[in-house]
Structure 1
Amino acid sequence: MTSYEYLTGYADYDTADLDLPFTRLVDLADRRLGAGVICANDELFAERENLLLPTPALFQPHTFGRKGQLMDGWETRRRRGTDTAHPHPGADEHDWAVIRLGLPGVIRGIVVDTAHFRGNSPQQISVEALELPGTPGPRELLAAGADWREIVPRSAVRSHAANGFAVADQGRWTHLRLKQYPDGGIARLRVHGESRPDQEWLAALGTFDLAALEHGGCVDDASDRFFSPPVNLILPGRSREMGEGWENRRRRDGGHDWVRLRLAGRGLIRAVEIDTGNYVGNAAGWAALHGFDASTGADPADPATAAQWFELIPRTRLQPDSVHRLRPAGDARPLTHARLDVFPDGGIARLRLHGSLVRLG
């Protein structure tokens, strides 16, 4: 069972395209990160905003509104051609929605999820991308001179399925335009990639959370992802429930769990927050934090460089459902990566590494 099958809970849900590495990367279009659907040409049956809901699409049969069955997704009316003798839509007719990414970045793959749209999904989709600074509105995004670039060519999609598409283009993007041919319903859109924030903005901030997803931090690797993904550690805001943190399985081998982070840039850490919020009986017992400076070209994942990791926070007892505010010991040292070790296992809701960027050299 794949993670998408687990989330939907439907045995007949088609996830054939999702044995792809990009699905482990953060969803740059997550509504919780500030993403939004700016505009769409049609949303008669179901609202465009549903595309970016972080929860799996749901279906309740025989729940009818004035316009028909209520669907958890974006659904447009049926297109009709103008030729009365041949009333089917032309090959180029399509519906579209424009999405603002919550985090600008490089897109590695896209999932177009048609869950529960069994007889009313589109036949094909395509995706275009645009980089536009600031906070543009529909007028700027739909202007004739807007430099949209196709990153997913027109491709067939299956009904009631998670359709995955790898993206080869390495550009940095702020907005997407999802097209569906000729019409129909799409439940969710997931845009997996790597955050690339505005570096001038980060420099202007001064002191900020170097690990935060919104600032360009990311999870490089982790020992365990059984109950929930480690990227939850660096999401904005506090967790609202246990499933919104990072929780690993119970260890029975005498070892411990860990997560390795790549920071927004090379910086100095001045204050650390380890939050075990909502973990009452299954919080990690102890935690330690180490740093690594990869600016010299050393690989933090290479066992041969293990001695280059240095201690920021020694092994420290943690309390359940609490925020622990800690100061690194000794003189501050520049780092590009951090590793959180938890002993022996357990849940951590959030990790904050407050500091500032330093210039190379």
Structure 2
Amino acid sequence: MADSPREGKVARPPDFTQLIDLASEFVGGKILFATDDFFAPAENLLKRDSPSFKEHEYTEFGKWMDGWQTRRKRIPGHDWCVVQLGIQGVIRGFDVDTSYFTGDHAPRVSIQAANFEEDKQPEIPQREVRTGAAATPEEFEAISELKSDDWSCLVPMTELTPGNPASSHNYFPVTSQQTWSHIRLNIFPDGGIARLRVYGTGQKDWTAGDPKEPLDLVTVAYGGACVGFSNAHFGHPNNLIGVGTATSMADGWETARRLDRPPILENDENGILLVPGCEWAVFRLAHPGVITQIEIDTKYFKGNSPESCKVDGCILTTQEEEDMVRQKWDLPGHKWKPLLPVTKLKPDEMHVLDSLTPELQDVITHAKFTITPDGGVSRLRLKGFPSSICLLRPREKPMMRFSVKAGFRANL
């Protein structure tokens, strides 16, 4: 059921909202079809930013709204749209946000889903965004190839709350373990929705591809996730493992300036800044593996990049991870093994560094990225080989197999 807190009391978001939004335009999500876009186009549903409201702004079709808003329906049927997820994955929950739609929100919603292999998806012509228009007969014919009427139902028809500040988020948990690539959002019969968030984890077929080609084992596209951090004042660490390159500082992880920094800064004999504190983020890899190369990109962080960083790794079972989350990652030092020693960072630059693990032959499930003393980084890539195909390049050893501890695979 939708979350419906009393007006004036903002409910705590469910835990699944800490996961990646698989439908966001930021990760490549796109609208394939919408029955109607009269007041505002469906593309607004996938915007990364929170909805906004401009009290006195109007278009030639009516009030400007930051969301998807259809005309008042005067023909049989109901409105719906189809979303192609930017990242295929397991969906853990939805947020149907009706912010600022108070007298014209969609009163009811249902959500369906399907999974198409990339090479078996019917060809859908690129959609033209036309505010003030409805779908053409040709567009209806093209989208019918997807047979979306028959897709699996993840959220049955449910009433939505109007977009008042305390009740605009309608949360729907999902228990399905299947992988999905497409979403159909149905509104009954018409109206407006500000944002659709599809929270989940990316999935990858690890048997596909070249086993000799290193993969980014921490990217959200394959299922990597941040499971703990010290500070995220200006940007969440999940941004570090996002898809593609950053487009601005807003796409990275940036911490507040540490208040314990000395009044006057000094270096040690190796040129490393002498400061008492640091900031950190812990990531669960998409698949256990050996890390062979580390990429750290400080693009856009010109006056606020960290002075230095290091990367450590360890192997944890699902239960151990849960225990560490409760303990805020106060993990005994012996568990962590160095992947990258303390390394100076430059502003606005890509750093490509070799990992220590090929020499140590260590398979890891989790990585800890530590920056000193604070600052911002746009991307972190941990490239290597899944544990079942660990080709150790420096020693040119044959395929090596590794069995992780019991209990971990339940988390994959």
Q: Shorter-chain TM-score: what band?
A: 0.7 to 0.9
State yes or no: 1:311 paired with 2:364.
Answer: no
Moved more, 125-134 or 339-348: 125-134
Which runs of no fewer than 5 residues in structure 2 stay unpaired?
A: 1-6, 125-142, 261-275, 389-401, 404-412
State the match for 1:173 in structure 2: 180
Query: TM-score under structure 2 normalisation?
Result: 0.75
State the match for 2:66 in structure 1: 72
Q: Describe the SS at the equivalent of 2:287.
A: strand
Displacement, 1:304?
Answer: 6.0
State yes or no: 1:325 paired with 2:329.
Answer: no
Distance (whole Å) between structure 2 residues aligned to residue 41 and residue 57 of structure 1: 22
State the match for 2:154 in structure 1: 150
State yes or no: 1:280 paired with 2:274.
Answer: no
Displacement, 1:129?
Answer: 2.1
Distance (whole Å) between structure 2 residues aligned to residue 244 and residue 320 of structure 1: 16
Give the 3 Å change call, closer, same or farther, for CA 286–175 of structure 1 in structure 2: same
Q: Letter of the 2:22 partner, please give it.
A: L
Q: Letter of the 2:292 partner, please give it.
A: R
In 2, are the aligned partners of 1:216 and 1:264 still within 8 Å (CA)? yes
Moved more, 157-166 or 196-205: 196-205
Aligned counterpart in structure 1 of residue 285 of structure 2, from 251, 263, 274: 263
Percentage of identical aligned residues: 35
State yes or no: 1:16 paired with 2:10.
Answer: yes
In 1, are the aligned partners of 2:95 and 2:196 still within 8 Å (CA)? yes
State yes or no: 1:139 paired with 2:144.
Answer: yes
State the match for 2:218 in structure 1: 211
Q: What whole-Å deviation, never above 9, does each CA across 1:71-113 have from its counterpart, x for those lacking one?
A: 222111112367xxxxxxxxxx531111111112222221112
Give the 3 Å change call, closer, same or farther, for CA 315–14 of structure 1 in structure 2: farther
Distance (whole Å) between structure 1 residues aligned to residue 319 and residue 102 of structure 2: 50
Give the 3 Å change call, closer, same or farther, for CA 204–131 of structure 1 in structure 2: farther
Displacement, 1:151?
Answer: 2.9
Q: Letter of the 2:226 partner, please give it.
A: V
In 2, are the aligned partners of 1:129 and 1:175 still within 8 Å (CA)? yes
Give the 3 Å change call, closer, same or farther, for CA 343–126 of structure 1 in structure 2: same
Give the 3 Å change call, closer, same or farther, for CA 42–304 of structure 1 in structure 2: closer
Distance (whole Å) between structure 2 residues aligned to residue 143 and residue 186 of structure 1: 20
Q: Describe the SS at the equivalent of 2:44.
A: helix
Displacement, 1:305?
Answer: 5.4
Query: TM-score under structure 1 normalisation?
Result: 0.84
For residues 235-250 of structure 1, the aligned pairs below 5 Å read 235-250=242-257
Distance (whole Å) between structure 1 residues aligned to residue 148 and residue 255 of structure 2: 48
Displacement, 1:44?
Answer: 2.1
Distance (whole Å) between structure 2 residues aligned to residue 14 and residue 100 of structure 1: 35
Displacement, 1:312?
Answer: 0.8
Displacement, 1:204?
Answer: 6.3
Aligned counterpart in structure 2 of residue 120 of structure 1, from 97, 104, 119: 104
Aligned counterpart in structure 1 of residue 170 of structure 2, from 153, 164, 170: 164
Moved more, 160-169 or 225-234: 160-169
Q: Letter of the 2:114 partner, please give it.
A: L
Distance (whole Å) between structure 1 residues aligned to residue 205 and residue 41 of structure 2: 31
Which runs of no fewer than 5 residues in structure 1 stay unpaired?
A: 1-12, 83-92
Aligned counterpart in structure 1 of residue 31 of structure 2, from 37, 59, 62: 37
Displacement, 1:64?
Answer: 3.4
Give the 3 Å change call, closer, same or farther, for CA 118–131 of structure 1 in structure 2: same
